[in-house]
Amino acid sequence: MTGLLVVTAVPAEADAIRAGLTDPTVTVAPVGVGPAVAGAATARLLALAEAAGKPYRAVVSAGIAGGFVGRAPVGGTVLANRSVAADLGAESPAGFIPLEELGMPPELLGGGSAVPADPGLLAALRTALPEATVGAVLTVSTVTGTAASTAALADRHPDAVAEAMEGYGVAVAATHAGLPFAELRTVSNPIGPRDRGSWRMREAFAALTAAAAALR
């Protein structure tokens, strides 16, 4: 059995994590942007490792994210207590309806529209990163870019601290493989209207490198 598999969306995130790793058994792999490609690529990596007789012990989805104002500061680190497919459901005149409320059989939901982090893995990360903010991390296919959509998400998910694009897909892959899962993000920008001047990519990547020491 091998160590931890850490998956990121893009190579820059993977490089930032590798720069701070202290455990040589941790594998870091960029798998692509969005929940579909991230989930498929993670499942393939897990299957190949298992076929080679060297299965991974656990999976972490990591990278940068947008933070909800007042809940997670720019440059800060967040840990997901659950990874949520925030736009997986249906619209209605009364608002968004998650899959669980549409009457679909549970076996078709892949564990539901929210996958909780493994308690032991999350506890270990919280101990190693005591300053991290803990809450739901939302997975979206379309990044939030207006004040109205930001307010709607914040109201619908009062425990959400950040928004990214891969966590739920990676979580489903890990769950189907029977492996512990967690999600770690650092905040590069506030969620809302796209203001590139407010983005702090350098700070977020530096925070990701600092947080990488917890991945062991």
Rg of the chain, C-alpha, whole Å: 16
Contact 87, 152 (CB under 8 A): no
Please report, for the domain that includes residue 28, its CATH number.
3.40.50.1580
Q: What is the mean pLDDT of the chain?
A: 91
Task: Write down the pLDDT at residue 101.
Answer: 73
Residue 61 domain boundaries:
4-214
What values do phi and psi take at 48, rounded to 5? -65, -40
Tens digit of pLDDT for each residue in 176-214?
Answer: 999 999 999 999 999 988 777 778 889 999 999 999 999
Tens digit of pLDDT for each residue in 141-150?
Answer: 988 888 988 9
Total-model pTM: 0.91
pLDDT band for 93, please (50, 70, 90 cuts): confident
Sole residue written with tokens 């950040």: 162
What is the Cα–Cα distance from 40 to 37, expressed in whole angstroms?
5
Neighbours of 93 (CB within 10 A): 4
Task: Write down the pLDDT at residue 111.
Answer: 61
With pLDDT > 70 as the criterion, what percentage of the chain qualifies? 96
